Amino acid sequence: MVDEKYIQYLEQFVTEKRRNLFNTVLNERTRHFTVAIEDIFQPHNASAVVRTCDIFGVQDMHVIESKYKFYASRLVAKGAQKWIDFSMYNKKNTNNTLDCIAALKEKGYKIIATTPHNESCLLQDFDITQKSAFFFGVEKEGLSKDVMDNADGYLKIPMVGFTESLNISVAAAIILQDLNQKLKQSNIDWRLTELEKREKYLDWMEKSIKSIKKIKENYFEQKIRNT
């Protein structure tokens, strides 16, 4: 449940224009598709994927950090990391990739490995009705054997040149733009639930108020006094 009185209290500290923007963006957000990145060692690539997710309405990103630490550059991500929800898989003495796959499957996602694999589904033929998590790996090595062995499907972007791979951020942008457009033209219920929208609306307002800690304390102190 969301404390609607608390939301109303916070709204006085956020301009109407910004509140309207939040609602407009939230109406385009989805969890029907999600993105997982595996050990991306170049910050500008990881940051560009964050920005791409925000632009195309993907609310969640799953980050696997077995070898390399994830870092979202403000210059590249342009603040997009503030509006995206991250799930991190970086525990020691465990297989973070398999943990990520298990968590996503538990939520009903199909694991889709993006790869120029010969048996991969072409982007234009992908079935958008399935709730899907798109896994992206580094350009040279690609995705790990753990992802490839546990994937429910493989997806590739049609290419006709001499090179066989795209930069991860470019690949993510092409895939998400294409599938996002198809999703919005379909009859699939792809939007966030009303509860999810209210939860994110509250979260984004809190992130937009500089003195939120003090304001929050004042609200709950008043609430306690009035009970």
Check: CB of residue 39 under 8 Å from CB of residue 14: no
Q: Spell out, as residue ranges, where the chain has pLDDT lower than 70.
A: 71-78, 139-140
Q: Which domain holds residue 17?
A: 1-29+191-227
Residues 117 and 207 in one domain: no
Here the CATH number for the domain that contains residue 38 is 3.40.1280.10
Residues 102 and 20 in one domain: no
* Cross-strand partners of 191: 30
pLDDT at 78: 63
Instruction: Please give the full DSSP string across 87-105, using - where no structure is assigned.
Output: EEE--TTS-HHHHHHHHHH
Residues 112 and 183 in one domain: yes
Residues 129 and 147 in one domain: yes
pTM of this prediction? 0.93
Residues 57 and 159 in one domain: yes
Check: CB of residue 200 under 8 Å from CB of residue 77: no
Residues 132 and 103 in one domain: yes
User: Which pair of structure tokens corresponds to residue 227?
Assistant: 């009970």
> What value, to the nearest 5°, has the Cα angle with vertex 150 and ends 148 and 156?
45
> What value, to the nearest 5°, has the Cα angle with vertex 92 and ends 82 and 32?
40
Residue 63, C-beta contacts closer than 8 angstroms, at least 6 positions apart: 36, 37, 46, 70, 86, 87, 88, 89, 90
Residues 2 and 60 in one domain: no
The domain total for the chain is 2
pLDDT at 73: 55
Residue 58, C-beta contacts closer than 8 angstroms, at least 6 positions apart: 29, 30, 33, 34, 35, 84, 176, 180
Check: CB of residue 145 under 8 Å from CB of residue 106: no
pLDDT at 76: 47
pLDDT at 212: 95
Residues 18 and 126 in one domain: no
pLDDT at 74: 59
For strand 121-122 and strand 110-114, is the pairing parallel, antiparallel, or unpaired? unpaired
Residues 172 and 201 in one domain: no
Residues 168 and 217 in one domain: no
pLDDT at 10: 96
Instruction: Give just the sign of the alpha carbon dihedral 68, 42, 200, 194.
Output: negative
Residues 124 and 156 in one domain: yes
Residue 122, C-beta contacts closer than 8 angstroms, at least 6 positions apart: 156, 158
Among 108, 131, 112, CA closest to 30 = 131
Give the span between the Cα atoms of 52 and 57, in whole angstroms: 8
Residues 105 and 143 in one domain: yes
pLDDT at 71: 67
pLDDT at 75: 47
pLDDT tens digits, 129-155: 999 999 999 866 789 999 999 999 999
